[in-house]
Amino acid sequence: MPQAKRKPESLFSDDRYRVLLDAVTDYAIYMLDIDGRVASWNAGAKRFKGYEEAEILGEHFSRFYTPDDRAAGMPQRALDKAAHEGRFEGEGWRIRKNGERFWCHVVIDPIRGKNGQLLGYAKVTRDLTERKLAEESLKQSEQQFRLLVEGVTDYALYMLDPTGVITNWNTGAQRIKGYSRQEVIGQHYSLFFSTEDVANGEPMRGLNQALADGRFESQGWRIRKDGTRFWASVVVDPIRNDLGVLIGFAKITRDITDQIEAQRALEKTRESLFQSQKMEALGRLTGGIAHDFNNLLMVVMGSLEVVRRRVPQEPKVLTLLDNAIQGAQRGATLTQRMLAFARSQKLVEELVDAQELVRGMAEMLQRALGPQMRIEVRFPLSLRPILADSNQLEMALLNLVVNARDAMADDGQIIISAREVRLAADDGALQAGSYICLSVTDNGQGMDAQTLSHAREPFFTTKGVGKGTGLGLSMVHGFAEQSGGRLALESVVGQGTTAEIWLPVAQGDILDDVVDVEPLPPVTASRALRVLVVDDDPLVLVSTAAMLEDLGHSAVQAESALDALARLSDGEAVDLVLTDLAMPDLSGADLARRIKQRWPGLPVLLASGYADKLEDPGIELPHIGKPFNQNELLEALVVLCP
């Protein structure tokens, strides 16, 4: 077999190498001559670069470089480096025949002759495009992720090292907590906790819990850089590497202050609605009981008074009777308070100068308090008048002062003050307008939340059986509400209580309408009258009749308005009709109206313990409050039939 002709310049004279090199398709292995021209080509080179051996042999290898790299003289530099240093290794973008770029790893070794003279270069190139693309896409997705995390503004997203030191920080964290990245990275995250929480070990507790349970979720107050608080919802997750070693914690914090506040406001509204519904129901119940009770007391008092006049003057019996009358009177006072709570008492609307009223009460108040307690009165220089019932307002203030006294030691101090407040808008409890706020402040024991929430309920007392009725604040509450105002209570245990009565300021047109009330003439015995008494309650009917007879008058009894009208139609001659107001079928007011039409000269006196509104405000009817005693009855009769 003839020997293949040996080309002296060929570096690949041995066919066995040729076969080997052509079998390698994962590497481009080829040679360059000393100037950088392609001198051999293998299958791998063809595969990645796309050139056939015939078209590339003799071409300069710089054509594989990108135009930029070529312009920068990269190809020659690589050769020089290989020649001088014995090897060049690098990675970079190269161009395939079809113009596509590919990323390759290149090694260039110089090839030297026996004497060390440079003959050319061996070039081994590997296509790493896929790996490069995978790396790039990983890098890109990591970068996108970082941008995403950093860009989130509604959540504070950041990481802690295993000891709780902050290692990174996003825009949301900066927005919510106020610290910039530079200020906070490297600090311990307990920075965001209140001093109390830090003292209680809260920060580490969160991390330990996250470690133990794999996650920690909580809510609580956190502190911003400017010292303000916000309510945070927090999640902490431990982060471990592939080997399971803890490398830190991921922390997500959200500011939910607004949400929590909205929820609190809703709860407060619900609670106050519940309170007002409860008071409403209690009011109806109390009013109903008081109304019936009032009638019964009326019977008892009326009858006792009559009996007292008629029994022989025996001291023992008289004492007992007086006790009974006193007991009944105390009962009547209670029912008055109950009616007041139920907003069902008869109130007189009058102009009240609060300062004058308080001044007038000073002596009485000081007596109620004892010499050691001090009352301080603080009023502004001028105060507009209130529209309210002055007697009831006095009662209300007295109740508040007595409560203050009971809550304090002997040397306590009470402040009575007044101020005018303008409400621009309806605040749920009060309508917009001007109010005078009269307040009684003590520095006594105060009330806890539980007591405070029940304080104005009828019969709620902490003073023990026989000491308090629990109707004081109920009366004040009902009176204030019925007068278009309200009772406000504020109290701190151990520090004291402030009770405020808000009452509407009298408006201009009312001020003009008010005329001075003529004082009542002194009570003198009236002539003997014949009175038609009307009441649907037979007990009340009988006792009223007895009272009248005892006063020297005579009484005709009717059990209903219709019965009364029938008697009058039958020609019953009477000087006066005394009728109950609240009756079934035809009310006392209706009866009065019919009498006014048919017997215009006949006076009618309405008796009521209940502030049933007269349906026709046009009729101004004389009125007597139930229960009344003989004196009060006498007074009313004298006015009507002098």
Ligand X SMILES: Nc1ncnc2c1ncn2[C@@H]1O[C@H](COP(=O)(O)OP(=O)(O)OP(=O)(O)O)[C@@H](O)[C@H]1O
Contacts with ligand X by CB under 6 A lie at 399, 403-404, 407, 442, 444-447, 451, 455, 460-463, 468-474, 497
Which one, 74 or 488, has the nearer CB to Mg ion? 488
3-state SS assignment for residue 157: strand
Q: What is the phi/psi pair of residue 601, to 5°? A: -85, -5
**Which amino acid is it at 255?**
D
What, of ligand X, Mg ion, none, does residue 184 touch, CB below 5 to 8 Å by kind? Answer: none
User: With CB under 5 A as the contact rule, which of the stretches 28-36, 126-134, 398-406, 416-424 interacts with Mg ion?
Assistant: 398-406
Give me the least distance between CB of 196 and ligand X, in Å please: 30
Beta strands (DSSP E) in 192-316 are 216-223, 229-240, 246-255
Q: How far apart are CA 166 and CA 551, in angstroms?
A: 94
The pair of structure tokens assigned to 123 is 């070039």
Choice from 287, 472, 603, 609 touching Mg ion (CB under 5 A): 472
Which one, 361 or 583, has the nearer CB to ligand X? 361
Give me the least distance between CB of 448 and ligand X, in Å please: 9
Which one, 42 or 403, has the nearer CB to Mg ion? 403
What, of Mg ion, ligand X, none, does residue 470 touch, CB below 5 to 8 Å by kind? Answer: ligand X
What, of Mg ion, ligand X, none, does residue 460 touch, CB below 5 to 8 Å by kind? Answer: ligand X
Burial of 357 from C-beta contacts in 10 A (0-12 / 13-18 / 19+): middle
Q: How far apart are CA 322 and CA 334, in angstroms?
A: 18
Q: Does 403 bind Mg ion (CB under 5 A)?
A: yes
Which one, 120 or 470, has the nearer CB to ligand X? 470
Give me the least distance between CB of 268 and ligand X, in Å please: 22
Which one, 40 or 403, has the nearer CB to Mg ion? 403
Give me the least distance between CB of 367 and ligand X, in Å please: 16
What, of ligand X, Mg ion, none, does residue 624 touch, CB below 5 to 8 Å by kind? Answer: none
Residue with tokens 């109920």: 474
Beta strands (DSSP E) in 453-529 are 486-492, 496-504
Q: Does 445 bind Mg ion (CB under 5 A)?
A: no
Give me the least distance between CB of 488 and ligand X, in Å please: 13
Give me the least distance between CB of 292 and ligand X, in Å please: 21
Neighbours of 141 (CB within 10 A): 10
Query: Whose CA is closest to 112, among 100, 103, 102, 120?
Result: 120
Give me the least distance between CB of 396 and Mg ion, in Å please: 11
Which one, 258 or 410, has the nearer CB to ligand X? 410
Which one, 131 or 330, has the nearer CB to Mg ion? 330
Residue nearest to ligand X as judged by C-beta position:
472
Give me the least distance between CB of 452 and ligand X, in Å please: 8
What, of ligand X, Mg ion, none, does residue 497 touch, CB below 5 to 8 Å by kind? Answer: ligand X
Query: Could you tell me if 374 and 320 are in contact, meaning their C-beta atoms sit under 8 angstroms apart?
Result: no
What, of ligand X, Mg ion, none, does residue 461 touch, CB below 5 to 8 Å by kind? Answer: ligand X
Q: What is the phi/psi pair of residue 325, to 5°? A: -65, -40
Q: Does 469 bind Mg ion (CB under 5 A)?
A: no
Rg of the chain on CA atoms, in Å: 51
- Strands 216-223 and 101-112: what pairing? unpaired
By 3-state DSSP, what share of the chain in percent is helix, strand and coil, each rounded to 5?
45, 25, 35
What, of ligand X, Mg ion, none, does residue 442 touch, CB below 5 to 8 Å by kind? Answer: ligand X
Binding residues for Mg ion restricted to 5-34, rule: CB under 5 A: none
Which one, 405 or 553, has the nearer CB to Mg ion? 405
Which one, 477 or 553, has the nearer CB to ligand X? 477
Using CA atoms, how far residue 318 sits from 77, 321, 543, 548, in Å, is: 135, 5, 19, 21
What, of ligand X, Mg ion, none, does residue 474 touch, CB below 5 to 8 Å by kind? Answer: ligand X
Q: How far apart are CA 68 and CA 160, in angstroms?
A: 44
Burial of 600 from C-beta contacts in 10 A (0-12 / 13-18 / 19+): exposed
Which one, 207 or 404, has the nearer CB to ligand X? 404
Which one, 299 or 404, has the nearer CB to Mg ion? 404
Give me the least distance between CB of 192 and ligand X, in Å please: 40
CA torsion through residues 354, 357, 362, 365, sign: negative
Give me the least distance between CB of 480 and ligand X, in Å please: 13
Give me the least distance between CB of 361 and ligand X, in Å please: 17
User: With CB under 5 A as the contact rule, which of the stretches 208-216, 251-259, 422-430, 471-479 interacts with Mg ion?
Assistant: 471-479
Using CA atoms, how far residue 17 sits from 8, 27, 52, 69, in Å, is: 16, 15, 19, 32
What, of Mg ion, ligand X, none, does residue 124 touch, CB below 5 to 8 Å by kind? Answer: none
Give me the least distance between CB of 470 and ligand X, in Å please: 4
Which one, 276 or 333, has the nearer CB to ligand X? 333
Q: How far apart are CA 575 and CA 560, in angstroms?
A: 18
Q: How far apart are CA 559 and CA 181, in angstroms?
A: 90
Residue with tokens 């002194």: 522
Query: Whose CA is closest to 342, among 282, 271, 255, 276?
Result: 282
Q: At what angle do helices 390-407 and 472-482 cross, to 10 degrees?
A: 140
Applying CB under 5 A, the residues found at the interface with Mg ion are: 403, 472
